[in-house]
Structure 1
């Protein structure tokens, strides 16, 4: 054994490590490939993050640009109907409508009709018990008899004095006194007679009769109720009557359509209660004055109602024909009512022109409810904005949505 060689067992036992080799060993190919793949993945992740951020910023910019331009829906105006017929609401009223009061004081003895009863003219409605009037009438008749007896005696006396005056048996003064007493007695008889007639009329008011043929719409009294004719108090309405064989229909006609309300012209009436049925009426009169508040003309249409099918107070639609030549020379247009803008400077609509909104002043004619007639301000080729925003101003950039017709809105 060479003295310079060292025994491994001896080294391990003594704790001394062997010396490291002087040259470093090279990396393995597998480790090199793993590091390259990791670097590539890191680059891809960084590129993807940057690219997504760029795309997000680009999308945000485009979204902001789109949000800055409002999207609107437009419709084109429709031409007005060639044949003009206006339909207006109206209210029916009884041709005659009156309350019935008592003309004498007393207590209600009995009533013969109730609400809904159809009565004829002169039919007995109720009776009033008036014991005070009856006693006063008896006293007045007795006073009249006494006055008539005094008158008869004065007449005989005056005739005798006049005959005696012819023979100068009595003085002229005494004869004149007798004649004057006769005149006073006659005046007393006339006064008593008038009082009897007055009380007889009051007694006749014990019976209440229908003033015309109609229907009882209200009964406000009952048996035993105190009846006050109004002397010293407020009179009480006993019954309320309405004549329904003919009805009055009052309709407010807009000023622009006032020429359609020609006196004597026929008017058709329709009711939701009778679908598909038409009642014929006649324009009988109008107020001949435009109401300053509503700018309408009050027109009365009378319609026969012999069977009482139409009730008073019913809501009806009155169809009026506009006479030829009464229409405006310019063709009117019809647009939906939800295109109107009510501004302080007046009525406006928004139209789209060259990609911008413009506010156009218009003048409307007839109001059809869901649509309105435009007389001036619009052209048939205009694109009108539907449901415009209250903040819409002239010159605002807008984007037109898919177009729709008036019927598809």
Structure 2
């Protein structure tokens, strides 16, 4: 009996505890549902307020309007566009003879050194003349001997002619005497030619300058033995220079003699020489694959052979080209565009560009001369944008 009673009490206690747990669980579920509802309601309220605010802002923007972009205006200009191609080359003497020995011998005098300024006919060096004087004297002796033999033979021929008239000598004897006289006269002529050669050799022992100029290089010194053709020194003429300008082979079809050219040199940076192309070498150099443009120019006074020279050759002229400042031409997804002024708004227009020179852009298509476009500020514009014109 006692056991049954205890079981009933225990079962009653467990049942009450179970009921309490179910009530707690229901209570928490109710609280979660209430929280979820409140959160949803709050989100709906915020969304309505944001939409209302955006609508209000839109109304304000529509009432106030987008601010205009300040720009400067320029007009498309039509003029001839000169196309100049630049190159950096070197100045050389137009005339630079290599002085060489014309006779063999030992140098007894060398009067000049590198850098010396000389005049035409000035003595540069001397070769020992002793042997050449001896050779001249020997030829002169041969001439004297030939003249004496000729005189004697002339007397002999004269006697033979008298004997032939008297029939005391044969005609063949006279013919032999006259032939011998002719041979002696030929020997005399040969000796006189050799005398001229000996005198010429003596004069060639004195090496003189063929031009006015400057000694650019010497290859000998006093005491050297030189042979015929041995180089002695090189002289450059400073009055006339030659500018050698290399250009890419792709420009060869556009280059020809007579084109205008401008030359400047760092040796005299303030001097600009305007002249024409003298010649274009038709061959392309193997190493650099460049064509050579030669310009012969009179030295303005300060230029030095060997100095760097910058040359610009006018290879073409684009007549009536449409030009705009570079700032007016901008890149957009549609391509290269300009903004044409239409009262207080701009109209985007796609253009085709060509050469760019000194801050100017050539417009090949899409724009006519005289049309007004935006300049400064064009990079901030879009099609249809409002603008205000500011003073430049």
Distance 2:252 2:356 in 1: 11
- The aligned residue for residue 242 of structure 1 is 236
Q: Is 1:259 matched with 2:248? A: no
Instruction: Classify 1:98/1:211 alpha carbon distance in 2 versus 1 (closer, same or farther; 3 Å).
Output: same
Instruction: Classify 1:292/1:104 alpha carbon distance in 2 versus 1 (closer, same or farther; 3 Å).
Output: closer
Instruction: Classify 1:306/1:166 alpha carbon distance in 2 versus 1 (closer, same or farther; 3 Å).
Output: farther
Unaligned runs of 5+ in 1: 1-80, 230-234, 336-350, 355-364, 380-402, 404-409
- The aligned residue for residue 179 of structure 1 is 178
Contact 1:95 1:248 in 2 (8 A): yes
Distance 1:173 1:145 in 2: 29
Distance 1:302 1:179 in 2: 63
Query: Shift of residue 218 of structure 1?
Result: 1.6
- The aligned residue for residue 311 of structure 1 is 304
- The aligned residue for residue 94 of structure 1 is 93
Instruction: Classify 1:283/1:292 alpha carbon distance in 2 versus 1 (closer, same or farther; 3 Å).
Output: closer
Contact 1:92 1:313 in 2 (8 A): yes
Instruction: Classify 1:98/1:118 alpha carbon distance in 2 versus 1 (closer, same or farther; 3 Å).
Output: same
- The aligned residue for residue 271 of structure 1 is 265
- The aligned residue for residue 341 of structure 1 is none
Instruction: Classify 1:225/1:366 alpha carbon distance in 2 versus 1 (closer, same or farther; 3 Å).
Output: farther
Query: Shift of residue 219 of structure 1?
Result: 2.1
Contact 1:268 1:320 in 2 (8 A): yes
3-state SS of 1:313 partner:
coil
Alignment of 1:156-195 (within 5 A): 156-195=155-194
Normalised by the length of structure 2, the TM-score is 0.58
Distance 1:275 1:330 in 2: 32
Contact 1:137 1:200 in 2 (8 A): yes
- The aligned residue for residue 320 of structure 1 is 313
3-state SS of 1:301 partner:
strand
Equivalent residues, number? 268
Contact 2:125 2:208 in 1 (8 A): yes
Contact 2:285 2:291 in 1 (8 A): no
- The aligned residue for residue 281 of structure 1 is 275
Query: Shift of residue 353 of structure 1?
Result: 7.4
Distance 1:311 1:322 in 2: 27
Query: Shift of residue 291 of structure 1?
Result: 2.8
- The aligned residue for residue 126 of structure 1 is 125
Instruction: Classify 1:157/1:119 alpha carbon distance in 2 versus 1 (closer, same or farther; 3 Å).
Output: same
Query: Shift of residue 152 of structure 1?
Result: 1.6
Contact 1:269 1:279 in 2 (8 A): yes
Contact 1:261 1:320 in 2 (8 A): no
Cα deviation code 1:313-363 (max 9, x no counterpart): 22111122234xx5599999xx9xxxxxxxxxxxxxxx9979xxxxxxxxx
Contact 1:151 1:182 in 2 (8 A): yes
Cα deviation code 1:209-268 (max 9, x no counterpart): 111121111222222222222xxxxx43211111120111122344447435442x4421
Instruction: Classify 1:297/1:330 alpha carbon distance in 2 versus 1 (closer, same or farther; 3 Å).
Output: farther
Normalised by the length of structure 1, the TM-score is 0.56
Query: Shift of residue 205 of structure 1?
Result: 0.9
Instruction: Classify 1:257/1:276 alpha carbon distance in 2 versus 1 (closer, same or farther; 3 Å).
Output: farther
Alignment of 1:335-354 (within 5 A): none
- The aligned residue for residue 207 of structure 1 is 206
Contact 2:268 2:303 in 1 (8 A): no
- The aligned residue for residue 222 of structure 1 is 221
- The aligned residue for residue 146 of structure 1 is 145
Contact 1:246 1:306 in 2 (8 A): no
- The aligned residue for residue 104 of structure 1 is 103
Specify which of 294, 298, 319 is matched with residue 300 of structure 1: 294
Contact 2:98 2:234 in 1 (8 A): yes
Distance 1:185 1:366 in 2: 84
Which has the larger share of helix? 2
Distance 1:195 1:169 in 2: 41
